[in-house]
Structure 1
Amino acid sequence: MNANTPVFAVHLLNMGIMPECPTTGVKMHTGLESFQPWAYTGLVAKSDDTTVVINTGFPLDMQPVQAFFAAWHSRCHVERSEDRTMDGHLQRLGIAPGDVDHLLLSCLGPYSTGRVELFERCPIHIGRAEWVDYHAPPPNFPPQPRDTIIPPQTLSRLVFEDWPRVNLLEDEDEICPGIRVFRTGGHHAGSLAVAINTRMGTLIYADTLFTYENYEQNIPIGFFRDQDAFHAAVRRIRREADLIVPFFDPVAFERYPDGVVTR
């Protein structure tokens, strides 16, 4: 980053809490019969002249999502109040959807794609590898809940009405000055780490890191697509990050009260 690179203030968004997530899904080969809290998050990054939203949270209709998680285990249920929808977060931060300059989906899942339709003006950035994997997974890959990963009405808009605004990112790309991505894989085939220039240095937000424990103790994630990619991502993030925000760790909201990561 050079001296003229914009500096972003970053807010972490609480999109919902799963009070009981299987621990073995969070930390591989750990807690085979235990459960732990699990958070779903998004980010808003603002510089003097640019607003970037990273992931949009769950759809307003949570019924398909709850059924999807209940298929993991009957104790898996997301608690999400109205103020934790993307609509509620934007209102709290005083941001109108039309004021957002860039929307980034760092991965494709019900917790990232649920409110894409709010953003009718800005470019929609999606990793090319993730987009291809969704539409053309490897042969014999287990069936995926496609309608839950991307709600049908959202997918239709992305493919047709909004397609001119869709930007398929390469593995090392810049969203705008001060925000770049690199593909980590690990959790999803096309998982992207997001590197943001802040007053505290480079912040990296990545769904390949579920919790601080995964990063700090080198414990692989349990819900993984590629374990080797997890370890490679951790090595790179250690080289490049001044601070990290894991994607699913409720502890982040203790470290950053009111979701204020950097001002």
Structure 2
Amino acid sequence: MSQVTTEPRSRASRLLPFALIVAGALAGWALLGDYLSFETLRDNREALLAFRDSHFVTMVAAYMTLYVLIVAFSLPGATIATLAGGFLFGLFPGVVFVLMSATIGATLIFLAARMGFGTALSARMDASSGTVRRIIEGIHDNELSMLFLIRLVPVVPFFVANLLPALVGVSLSRYVFTTFFGIMPGTAVYTWVGAGLGEVFARGDTPDLTILFEPAILGPILGLCALAALPILLKALRGQKGF
């Protein structure tokens, strides 16, 4: 009898962290979806700057808490929050606040996925095919390189990059390390754009978020991607040559 009652409780306790994140995401999308926007930042910029000047530590704590929640619950507005970090705090220390907040939020998703999904879903992921399967195999064979790649390549959704490592047994320390440094280039670009929002607001314009795909910006990021992919390529070549 004890096994019959313990197993459902154990399963429920494993699913609870992820269930809370899903519930929080639904609530956040319903309640905050219309507020986490460029227009909200523009219309409240003077009040935000005044509060920052008079309560700097409180503003930093509130900003980082909101950013963690946005990432942890996959709410809309992560790009706006990054821009706000640059607008409120400048490129530095704004980029540090953004990096820390994004990494903490991503780690919460990682831990919830690891605790909630368990080995059953991990087995399903291992049995998958297509792009997901190739990424999983790449992580298994070249863990650090693949973890950096899925963070550096702009086309990999942030939520996917948060979940996949948890489902293939990546260690927490490696996940945190590669998340923090892997998102650094793109984060620095958007925080830099945010630092110039004062002039954008003055002109009545909207920020140019396509800057990440400008050759001068995208080129160095792709160079980092190539550097991260180099160990994978060398390993593949050695395998083909029988080294």
TM-score over 0.5 (shorter chain): no
TM-score for the superposition, normalised by structure 1: 0.23
Structure 1 or 2: more strand by fraction: 1
TM-score for the superposition, normalised by structure 2: 0.25
